[in-house]
Chains A and B, each alone.
Chain A
Amino acid sequence: MKENIIVKFFVKIKNKIASAYVRWTKKNTLGERIFDVVNLILLLIVGFVSLYPFWQIVAESFNEPLDAMKGGIYFFPREFSLIAYKTVFENSQLVTSFFISVARTAAGTLVSIIVTGLLAYALSKPALRGRKFFSLLCLATMFFSGGMIPTYLVISQLGLVDNFLVFILPCAVNVWNMIVLRTFFENIPVSLEESARLDGAGWYRIFFSIVLPLSAPAIATVCLFFAVGQWSAWFDAYIYVLDADWMYPMQTILMRIINGSAISGGDIVGGGNTGGTITVTADAIKLATIVVSTVPILCVYPFVQKYFVKGMLVGSVKE
């Protein structure tokens, strides 16, 4: 009885495919069908190429390090081993850097969304005197910038060198994200805010208890932009953190590992050797660090991509 159902199911699917195939051959000329097949193959290759380089890194990072040096690991680990990850998680500098990355992402996103959000909200009010001037003040920064050196000098004279705030303040306002938010705020029905104002609510109250909840999708999108920006940043720590080594976020450490400039395998590899015969190569640590620093973003991106897409479109349409 049960088998019968399964068989029926497959027959149904087979018939569906068959009829789809017939429709396809009827509707399309030979040239179009060849195009379809080639197109499908090319797109599958694109999908594969997008994923594979990282996949290989993951496979290698889970392989026994000395064995991995022989190469030839393409899809799955040959000799499964967690030693590289164990070393990474036992290395105090890497663990600290992971928490620095988490801290700057959390604090930076929070500060940025509040500062940028308030700015966007005030600028979305047509009644605001000088609105045009302030908008222009914001937009102009997208076209002019002092460049790397003057910015560096300003930031160091503000006392932000070796200061955690250097990760947060310079990117507190993002004009692009401000435009995304403003566009959204402008489309919130005015009547809602007006009735709240009649009840005596102030602008801050309205912003935090009416506007923010109503704009949840836009806020989520922009928060994600900020969070990804914070998580990926490496250059600010690279130039603004001089003596406070502990303040390096993971990307900066990773950059120095890959560059071979600072932490040459040495001190890290030493940590992994305590087990006696087990050896960890600098390469294995590099790969494991790449994976560890990427996983948080990889875990969320498939679920949030539609928000990203929306945010990008709002911004570009407004441009």
Chain B
Amino acid sequence: MKGKKVLKEIWAQRTLYSMLLPGIICLILFSYLPLYGLLIAFQDYKISTGVFGSPWVGFEQFATLFQDHDFAIAIRNTVAINLLKLVFCFPAPILFAIMLSELRLVGIKKGVQTLSYLPHFFTWVIVAGIFGDLLATDGTVNRILGVFGIDPVQFSTEDWFFWPLMVITGTWKEGGWNAIIYIAALSNINPELYEAADIDGAGRFAKIRYITLPALMPTLRITLLLSIAGLFNAGFDQIYLFQNPLILNVAEVLDTYIYKFGLSNRMYSYATAAGLVQSLVNFAILIAANTVCKKTTGSGLY
């Protein structure tokens, strides 16, 4: 008789369920159906025959994948770019937040903060356009280099420049925006702590070292975890919009590799297999990072 009661309760809540419905349908269609579509990684999928009619090939796609030299290159580039970003892009907003908090001139502080958000609102398309213009052979950067007697550099075709460019544009676009979360953490510090430190005769640097930095740690732990978890995920937009055929050996990452094989060459199964490898590794890294974080600090993401 319990079942009947449950049904009655559900019926009583039918209006609430009808509110859930559109959203849940969208999630099922656009988030869960694609999960089911991962099956084609184990098939030789043809659009004409669909998931049910295409032949199963087991791990054949994966075998081809791991023998492809370009796939290995894509993995190397993805990890390298993300590690560089972890070293350079990640600390930038923290540094920026601390510097801002140390600035006593309120007007300038607000102005700089507002300006630093600005690039976040440019799309990668626009950022690629802007930097393409700045770095052109006759662009501003080359003119400045010219003042020092350096010959114009064609940045877009220079192998060595692509990784730094991803770090520079990444920091430029999101640095100020990512600082928000740290700025908020700093504004939550109890001012009495600083007052007490004043009475104890602590200088500015001591206060940064012993009050400001520790206050950032909980936030920093989470953002660091999330960054590490994205190690296998280079982000499609930025890379795709900046790369060109001449520098693919440093600019091809997993996401663009999948795009090219899947949507340009229509090798659906092959590209899906590559995507599956990427998701699984990502997931494994997330779990591992979270476990390590929990063991060392006592708390993690979940």
Tell me the A residues contacting B by CB distance below 8 Å.
Answer: 28-29, 31-32, 35-36, 39-40, 42-44, 46-47, 49-51, 53-54, 56-57, 60, 71-72, 74, 114-116, 118-119, 121-123, 125, 127-129, 134, 137-138, 141, 143-155, 158, 169-170, 172-173, 178, 202-204, 207, 228, 232, 234-235, 239, 251, 254-255, 258-259, 286-287, 290, 293-294, 297-298, 301-302, 305, 308-309, 312-313, 316, 319
Contact = CB atoms under 8 A, between A and B. Distances in A.
Interface in B271-302: 271-272, 275-276, 278-279, 283, 286, 301
B112 A312 contact: no
A29 B132 CA distance: 45
A119 B114 contact: no
Given A129-B10, A203-B19, A147 B38 contact: yes
Interface in B80-103: 96, 99-100, 102-103
B154 interface: no
Contacts of B116: 46-47, 50
B71 interface: no
A107 B268 CA distance: 32
A302 B13 CA distance: 43
B34 interface: yes
A239 B258 CA distance: 13
A239 B15 CA distance: 37
Contacts of A29: 203
A154 B114 contact: no
Contacts of B150: none
Interface in B101-134: 102-105, 108-109, 111-112, 114-119, 121-123, 125-126, 128-134
Contacts of A169: 26, 29-30
A53 B131 contact: yes
A44 B30 contact: no
A292 to B, nearest CB: 11
Nearest to B264: A239
Interface stretch (B62-70, B137-145, B159-167, B209-217): B137-145
B130 to A, nearest CB: 5
Nearest to A251: B125
Interface magnitude class on chain B: 35 or more
Contacts of A313: 180-181, 184
B171 to A, nearest CB: 10
Contact of A57 (B6, B23, B26, B133): B133
Interface string B198-238: 00000111000000000000000010000000000000110
